[in-house]
A and B are shown apart, each in its own frame.
Chain A
Amino acid sequence: AQRVTQPEKLLSVFKGAPVELKCNYSYSGSPELFWYVQYSRQRLQLLLRHISRESIKGFTADLNKGETSFHLKKPFAQEEDSAMYYCALSGRDTNAGKSTFGDGTTLTVKP
């Protein structure tokens, strides 16, 4: 069985502070990990995927297979980063759409 855990339901930081949204997973095969974001009144959208190894809107996430983690990080949070963030996992050998999602973390960046 595959499982995604986001331990923080709510996270609040001040503008300019570093932010880390935690994601841990369990999966027996080769995982593919994603971060999706939902801004207020907008649709859920892909933020980044580990296979791309790119930085989007200043966010990065590194897959740590030893710790089974895929934490999302940004060195200097901005107010426009306030949103709901979901970590998701799928198997490399399965359809990526059949993903398992974490419960989500609501990030609030205060001025």
Chain B
Amino acid sequence: DVKVTQSSRYLVKRTGEKVFLECVQDMDHENMFWYRQDPGLGLRLIYFSYDVKMKEKGDIPEGYSVSREKKERFSLILESASTNQTSMYLCASSFKNSPLHFGNGTRLTVT
């Protein structure tokens, strides 16, 4: 069974802090994704990656960056956290064009 692990379940950060959200998958998937999940807004794609050191912007990349130095790890970086980035962040991975496998999510609160 595919395992997608997000390092933190809950995070509380202050405005202006640099925040790292980590995600690791154990099934050698090429594709990895970061979404944010907000009530009434569904899931919105922030960034994704089809290969190591490769990244592409999703629908809402502003204020975020990503890093993929190894195939199994995909990090989401908030350069300077703001209160409107308070949200649930979901990492996902997939093999080619198969469906997504999601992590448990990280609930980030920016105060």
A-side residues, CB < 8 A to B, are 4, 6, 9, 32, 34, 36, 43-46, 49, 86, 88, 90, 94-99, 101-104
Contacts and interface: CB of A to CB of B under 8 A. Distances in A.
Contact of B99 (A4, A43, A49): A49
Contact of B90 (A4, A34, A44, A88): A44
B94 A45 contact: no
Contact of A97 (B31, B44, B105): B31
Contact of A96 (B58, B90, B99): B99
Interface residues of B, number: 27
B97 A95 contact: yes
Interface in B28-48: 31, 33, 35, 40-45, 48
A90 B102 contact: no
Contact of B102 (A6, A43, A95, A102): A43
Given A43-B104, A43-B105, A44-B90, A98 B45 contact: yes
